[in-house]
Structures are given as C-alpha cells and as structure tokens.
Structure 1
Amino acid sequence: MSEFAATATSEPVTSTIELPDGGGERVVWRQGTGKPLLLIQGMSGTHDHWGDGLIERLVGDGRALVGINHRGVYGTARPEAGYLLADLADDQAAALDALGVDEPIDVFGISMGGMTALNLAIRHPEKVRTLALGCTTAGGALMTFPSQEDIQMLFAAQQSGDVEKALRAGYEVNFSESLWDDEDTYLTFKRATVRSPVPVPVIMGQAQAISTHDVGDRLAEITVPTAVMHGTADRMLPYPNGVAVHAGIPGATLDTFEDAGHLYFWDHAEATADILRDLSARSPE
C-alpha cells in the first residue's frame, strides 16, 4: 500500500506540506477513500469551490480526493510574479511526490486548473492516469476570449469596494443562468469564497500566467484517456475553447452541457461524476 493510500480519510482534512527544493508550502485538502483523483482548481479558486454536490458524489463513488491549492492560496506565501502555468503543473507533480503518490493518478482540472492539468499531462506524463478537462482552453491561437462587456463588468464590480456586488457579479458570470436566483447555491458559493479569499496580487499573477498559456501545438502528445467537458453558456471561457481542446487530443471525448455556465459542475454534479467514473474505467489497471 502506498503512503498516500495508507493515509486516506473518509472525512475532509486539510494540511500543509513543504515542496522539495525550496518550492514553498502548499495547503492540501483530502477526502474519501478508494481510487485517487486529483482535483485542480481554477483562477481565484480554492478547494472549497468544488461544490458539495460533486464532492458527495465522488466520495460516494469510492474516490480518494486530493486538492493541492495553488501558490499563494489558503494563506501560503505570495509568489513572485512571472511564473507560468508550467510552473503550477510542476508544483502539482512535486506535491504528489511529497504526498507519497507513487502511481499515475486520475486528474480533473477546471478553467485555469484545466490549463495546469494540460501542462501536467505534457510535462509529467508519468503522473497522469486519465485526464478530465472542464471549462478550459489550450490558449494561444486556439483561445476564445470572454466578451469585453463581461470583463468590464467584473472589473467594475471588483473595483467598487462593495463586497456583495463583487460576489454577485462573480456568481452570475460563472454560473448557469438557471442558478442566478438560487439563493442556497449563491450562499454556498459566497461562503466558499469568503472562507479564505485569494489575495488580489495572487489573482493578478494567475491572470498573467494564463495570458502566456499556449499548448495548442502539444495537445497531440497527450495519449492517456481524456474527457473534455464544457457548457454552451460559458461566459469566462466560451464553448469553442472546449471544442478546440477536444479536437487536438487523440481519442478525447467531448461532453457538452447545454445552457450551462463556466462552473457547470455545480448544477451538473451527477453527470460530471458519471463522466469521471467512466473515464477512469477506460484506463487499464
């Protein structure tokens, strides 16, 4: 039994680990027992942003979940500017080593976490058993950008000094329109966001890293079973981004969520869990 499997826990647990070679501290969240699944969050996200519905289904499916928060997240030291998404992928690989994960692991990354997962699969193919990519992009010439209207709206809300206005704006641009009036979902999102807010300088560093992301000409190097998921109403990374990622990875599948927003897995938790279970079964043991 690996060190990672031996320390699996049915209840959610967070801990701080030190990456080797001066890589700094990372906050790690774990929950569940069974087949390991690495969850990689997006820009300004923490492990609290997966939504209770998806986590409950994955744990019920017998998954040992692990989320390795990015640099500067959950109170860890703020990173110097100028790092790349390739560096975030290297962080994930180093953290898996530190956690005693000694076999390839199923990986699910969303948004910037999906970009990080792409880099992980390209740079550290020995770490990845299967690859699930949600609401993400290959970047470069293959990237479809959000509308200027949405960018300006988010910026104005963030600069307003009104926390509630900023949270509402972030909620509406990320979630499906069908959830905009769902107060329970909004309050769950709000609690996740205010529990450990990601500092603005860290978010700006992440945005800078995203701006240089471009793996379009390397997608064909990915040979593990891959599933791409995307909502047609995604305003942060519009649907053509998912289509382009799917087209570039040999043998990848594409699951489309009609009228779903960026964080589609909140309102499509059961379908997302089913896709992840089926994807894992596509890899030989």
Structure 2
Amino acid sequence: MPTTQAADAAIYYEMAGSGEPIVLIPGFASGIWGWFCQAGLAESLRVITFDPRGIGRSRSGSAEMSIETFVDDVRAVIDDLGIEKAHILGASFGGFVALEFALRFPERVGKLILACTTAGGAKHVSADFAILRSFTRDPDRPLGEQIRRFFRPAFTEEFNAEHADTVEEVCRLREENEVTEETYSAQLHTAFSFDVDLRLGEITNETLVITGDQDNLVPMQNSENLAAKIPNAKLKVIKNGSHMIFVENASEFNRIVVEFVSESDN
C-alpha cells in the first residue's frame, strides 16, 4: 500500500495499467473509491488515483488545508513515482485542484481535463440553494442520510429510478470511507471561495472541458466559461449527463478521455 509524505501528511495512492500517466483528482469529500467506474482507463493509460489528505487511507498532517496544500499533495504523489509529467484529470472539486496545479506547475502537466467543474468567481453559475444546503453537515441527521441527500441530486432522475443500485453503491462507498471534519470543512470553504476566473488565460496546456447538459450542481454554463477562456481548450457536452458523468455516463466519459489523451498534439 504505497504512501508518500506531503507536508507531514501521509498520502495513500494506487496505480494501475501502463502507458502515459494520468492522475485522477477526486471530487468533494471523495477519494480513490470515486473512480470505481474508471477502472477501464488502465487498459490504455497508467492511472494514478489517491485519497486526499484526511480522506480514506490518507492522514491529515498539521499543515493548513488550502488549495495550495491539495496541489502540493498531487505533486508529492507524482514525485514519489518519479513522474516528470502527467496528464491531469480533475472532477468537480478535483477540477479546482487540477486548475491550480496547471497554473503553478504547467511543465508537470501533459494534457488537462476538467470535468463538471468551474473557475469560480463572478462568472460562476451556482446551483439552486436547496442543493447547496445538502453540503452542510447536520449533526441531528445520520451520516448515511446526509450522504444520500447529497448524492441523489447529483444524478438525473432517470438514473436514480433505473439504476438505484449504482447510486446506492456510490453512497455506500462514501459512507465507508472516512472524511475528517477538518478536511470536510476545508474543502467546503475552498469550494465556496475558489476563484481563478481571471487567470484562465494563463493556462498553456491543451485542455478538454467535459460537462453534462443536466448537471444541476455545477451547471453547464461554468464549463462553457472555462472552454471560452482557456486558450487551448475545447468543450465536450455529454447529452443527458448529470454532475456524476463519470459514473452515470462512464463508458462515454472514459472513451472521451482516452481519445483526447491519445490525440497528437496540435
């Protein structure tokens, strides 16, 4: 079980497959388990996943939790593997980390993939208030109930009805993987304060922005903004795709990722 030290935190990571390396950065309060539908990527790529500090099998350490700290953790993982450059894929909250990583360490990034995420700032299109409330922990509610209240709106109504077992699997995995209160609060604060909108023009890496047209947590307009402002970016919209496109539309999502990474540079 490989771990690496990052600012005195122990970061647990896994690797599968061979080929060009790609780091998958998970979403809010998520870890390695969040990529259970991306196992097939290892048929074409060297896939690196990790539990962020304070989540699952990673320990928090004493460093202040911030977007910079989360970026340093990603760098520590690829440094530990001796990887000079990797493709970076971030989903939702992981997209914040991916954006900041590309801004700080463009030379360490092959291609950048931003899924169901936002640059924040004045141009951010927010979810409905009722959905945002589901992020707040309620000490009077059982954890499992809170998790299900959060995840079910992240899928389309049709998927919830027709694939309730998959939605329940996501909720079960989240419930089984501990998220410390410190990490939860730090990620929540980062999510609501994140803003790199005015810096998007500085990103030099070839970029793919992926969104679902039914995303009600991070609406599609945010992805359109990313693709419009990042100089070398293109947008891919998955029809009938929810916020959880990497689960609900996993086959299409995985195909899009592999095709983009495999394309020759422009």
The alignment's TM-score, normalised by the length of structure 1, stands at 0.85
Measured in 2, the distance between the counterparts of 1:81 and 1:147 equals: 33
Q: Could you say what the CA RMSD is over the residues aligned between the two structures, in angstroms?
A: 2.1
Answer whether contact 1:220 1:249 (CA < 8 A) is retained.
Answer: yes
Unpaired runs of 5+ residues, structure 2, are none
Paired residue for 1:5? Answer: none
Measured in 2, the distance between the counterparts of 1:155 and 1:87 equals: 23
Distance 1:193 1:237, change over 3 A: same
Answer whether contact 2:134 2:146 (CA < 8 A) is retained.
Answer: no
The partner residue of 1:106 within 80, 84, 87 is 87
Paired residue for 1:9? Answer: none
Paired residue for 1:7? Answer: none
Distance 1:77 1:281, change over 3 A: closer
Paired residue for 2:19? Answer: 34
Measured in 1, the distance between the counterparts of 2:93 and 2:87 equals: 17
Give the % identical residues. Answer: 26
Quote the offset at 1:248 in angstroms: 0.8
| Residue 67 (structure 1) aligned with residue 49 (structure 2) | yes
Measured in 2, the distance between the counterparts of 1:191 and 1:59 equals: 24
Distance 1:153 1:272, change over 3 A: closer
Paired residue for 1:229? Answer: 210
Relative to structure 2, which stretch is displaced further, 213-222 or 123-132?
A: 213-222
Paired residue for 2:149? Answer: 169
Cα deviation code 1:100-127 (max 9, x no counterpart) = 112x211110011111001111100111
The partner residue of 1:132 within 101, 113, 116 is 113
Unpaired runs of 5+ residues, structure 1, are 1-13
Answer whether contact 1:85 1:210 (CA < 8 A) is retained.
Answer: no
The residue type equivalent to 2:142 in the other structure is D
Quote the offset at 1:283 in angstroms: 4.7
* Corresponding residue SS for 2:79: helix
Quote the offset at 1:77 in angstroms: 3.2
Quote the offset at 1:275 in angstroms: 1.6
Quote the offset at 1:38 in angstroms: 0.6
Quote the offset at 1:224 in angstroms: 1.7
* Corresponding residue SS for 1:146: coil
| Residue 185 (structure 1) aligned with residue 166 (structure 2) | yes
Cα deviation code 1:198-225 (max 9, x no counterpart) = 1233111111122331111111111221
Quote the offset at 1:195 in angstroms: 2.6
Measured in 2, the distance between the counterparts of 1:149 and 1:170 equals: 10
* Corresponding residue SS for 1:51: helix
Q: How many residues end up aligned between the 2 structures?
A: 265
Answer whether contact 2:67 2:97 (CA < 8 A) is retained.
Answer: yes
Quote the offset at 1:251 in angstroms: 2.6
Paired residue for 2:245? Answer: 264
The alignment's TM-score, normalised by the length of structure 2, stands at 0.91
Paired residue for 1:212? Answer: 193
The residue type equivalent to 1:227 in the other structure is L
Cα deviation code 1:226-272 (max 9, x no counterpart) = 10011122222111111111111113111112332211111211221
Relative to structure 2, which stretch is displaced further, 128-137 or 202-211?
A: 202-211
Paired residue for 1:143? Answer: 124
* Corresponding residue SS for 2:55: coil
